[in-house]
Amino acid sequence: MAPPVTAADPARRRYELLAPVYDWASAERPLYARARAEAAELLRLRPGARVLDIACGTGRNFPLIEREIGPSGRLVAVDRSPRMLRRARARVAGQGWDNITVLERDVTSLSPAHFEELGLLARGARFDAVLCTLGLSVIPDWQGTLRMMAGMVRPGGRLAVMDGCYPARAGGADELVALRPLAWLLCRMFAADCRREPWELVRAGTDDAAVKHYSLGYVAVGAGTPRHDGHLAQPSP
């Protein structure tokens, strides 16, 4: 179980406070819905697939994943905010999904052994796909977390991320730099650092990588097939 929420953990405290209003306060439909759907599509899921959702929040990804993996698949969702997970579990119960396991864990300390011990992975097995949406901009050790995610993917499996960024850093037109103050405000509201660009790490460390931008450059998606050479490579300067 994740450690108790403390004043020394400001991001986690922020999400504990935001949980009751997160689904509407995050402006999902205008800002993130298309990018979220694209991230799920780029996982190339099939019926029966095993999927790991890192920093799952209130479970916004669940319907997109369930639609593809069906009742024979397995979705394991992990987050460290008890109140966000309460809403995720309510979403699961409301839909009657019995193939989703929701866990309260510190995602930075996960390993395949955790899931083997819980009977969620066979010994030596990995997930068919691993996804993180709007999480890597918040997690302090985001690069380590992304490498952990890549290590959770079976050979030939898929990795996808979706997160916010500053428009001028996302390959947008120069005039979109005017939107950076709004992007900064949104990042501050959700304790996020939108300068990180995790999709570039995905681009550098996966085969057949795809990177796409949405919402006037404020949101980006990156996906690919991790190379199993031990780590995700650093992007070129």
pLDDT in tens, 9-65: 666 666 565 555 556 555 556 678 899 899 999 999 999 999 999 999 999 999 999
Task: Decide if 151 contacts 229 (C-beta within 8 A).
Answer: no
- The yes or no reply on domain 10-224 and CATH 3.40.50.150 is yes
The predicted pLDDT at position 4 comes to 43
Alpha carbon separation from 172 to 162, 193, 221 (Å, rounded) = 17, 18, 14
C-alpha 47: how far from chain center: 21
Q: pTM for this structure? A: 0.83
DSSP state of 178: G
Whether 194 has a pLDDT exceeding 70, the answer reads yes
In terms of average pLDDT, the best of 98-112, 159-173, 178-192, 208-222 is 98-112
| Pairing outcome for strands 127-133 and 153-164 | parallel
The residue-averaged pLDDT of 220-234 equals 77
Reported as a single tens digit per residue, the pLDDT across 133-191 is 999 988 889 999 999 999 999 999 999 999 887 665 544 444 455 555 565 566 665 55
Number of helices (H) and strands (E) in the chain: give both, helices first.
9, 7
Whether 3 has a pLDDT exceeding 50, the answer reads no
The domain limits of the chain are 10-224
The predicted pLDDT at position 116 comes to 96
Q: In degrees, to the nearest 5, what angle opens at C-alpha 208 toward C-alphas 74 and 163?
A: 65
Reported as a single tens digit per residue, the pLDDT across 70-96 is 999 999 999 988 988 999 999 999 999
DSSP state of 233: P
Rounded to whole angstroms, the Cα distance separating 219 from 76 reads: 25
Which burial class, exposed, middle or buried, applies to 49 when counting CB atoms under 10 A from its CB (0-12, 13-18, 19+)? buried
- The better pLDDT of the pair 157, 2 is held by 157
Q: Which residues touch 146 (CB under 8 Å, ≥6 apart)?
A: 132, 136, 161, 198, 201, 202, 232
